[in-house]
Amino acid sequence: MKPKPEQTSIQSHPYQHPTEHRLVQLLQHTIDRAGPEAGERLISELENGGYQIPLVMYNELIRLYSDQCRIHDVERWHQKLVHTVISHVQPASDTPISLSQPMAPTTVTYALLINAYNRAGLGAKAIATWQDFKSTGLPLTPPLITVILDTLGHHKKVHLLTKFWASIQPKWQAMLDENNHNSYMEALLRNQYFDHAVHHFTTQMWPVRSQSTPRWPMHHLNDSLSAETPQVCGPSRKTLVTLLSPLHRNYRMELLQVVVNHVKLYYQSVIPVVQELGYSLH
């Protein structure tokens, strides 16, 4: 006998008006238990029940299909998103006015789309989506910056890569995290720009006196900072592997030694990590 399809009804759940967070939890649980098709049936059931599907549920399905490199389904749900009309009531004098407008993709949506195209090897579509994002006026976020850097590096767009990095300085510099810096260096290394990557590491990451999060180049630091300044943690193991492994693999020993000497001079606390990775300090 053919098994019955997984039930996705919300009737068995102990709330009649689920919040956006609970709807997403329900979608994730349904997909984990019965697959993406069951998740799509759940959304149809919610729509038929009069629920307004929140944007985060569209993003969740786009994320799922992106992870599976199912580009047709990624694009299908993106189209569903942009053609969805949302309604809300806005009070005006004594008579509330019902307003309707198209649902708009967010920065998260664009990051998911660019990542999906990049994973599928569709560089032209990924870059075109990035160009579309720039026209929206939406803010950049560290995850989106990482996706853009990875895409440009993977598809050998070095000119666009360096131009993009320069464009986010200094406006976004305080927001950049370790993954952003690692992605930029990895993109440079992937395209054989070894000296540029090492220069970035020694001048743009982990200043001598700062919090461990990458912030400002060392020449921007004030030498009069007090002794109470928090001690630097320095580059993580991931950063060291990102930089040292390609240099070693490509026999760029002089540049590798520049990195090791920089660590020895400023970040004694991570010297054991360099040694564990098998690199000499001499």
Closest CA to 72 of 61, 86, 57: 61
- CA distances for 235 relative to 107, 112, 144, 262, angstroms: 28, 28, 22, 11
Please check whether residue 266 lies inside any domain of the structure: yes
For residue 281, which phi and psi values (nearest 5 degrees)? Answer: -95, 5
Q: Residue 17: pLDDT band by 50, 70, 90 thresholds?
A: low
Residue with more model confidence, 282 or 245: 245
pLDDT at res. 85: 74
Residue 208 has pLDDT above 60, yes or no: no
Gap between the Cα atoms of 141 and 108, Å rounded? 9
Please check whether residue 255 lies inside any domain of the structure: yes
- Residue 142 corresponds to which tokens in the numbers above? 């560290």
With a pLDDT cut of 70, the percent of the chain lying above it is: 78
Please check whether residue 97 lies inside any domain of the structure: no
For residue 194, give its domain range.
Answer: 174-220+230-282
Residue 188 has pLDDT above 80, yes or no: yes
Please check whether residue 40 lies inside any domain of the structure: no
Q: Which pTM value belongs to this model? A: 0.78
Please check whether residue 188 lies inside any domain of the structure: yes
Please check whether residue 267 lies inside any domain of the structure: yes
The number of folded domains in the chain is 1
Please check whether residue 146 lies inside any domain of the structure: no
H or E stretch at 168: none
Collapsing DSSP to helix, strand or coil, 197 comes out as helix
Q: Residue 106: pLDDT band by 50, 70, 90 thresholds?
A: very high
Gap between the Cα atoms of 202 and 100, Å rounded? 52
Gap between the Cα atoms of 46 and 192, Å rounded? 51
pLDDT at res. 218: 42
pLDDT at res. 255: 97
Q: Residue 71: pLDDT band by 50, 70, 90 thresholds?
A: very high
Share the mean pLDDT of the chain: 82
Gap between the Cα atoms of 96 and 264, Å rounded? 67
Lowest-confidence pick of 19-23, 169-173, 219-223, 232-236: 219-223
Please check whether residue 265 lies inside any domain of the structure: yes
Lowest-confidence pick of 10-19, 32-41, 82-91: 10-19
Tens-digit pLDDT profile for residues 209-258: 344 444 434 434 344 333 343 445 689 999 999 999 999 999 999 999 99
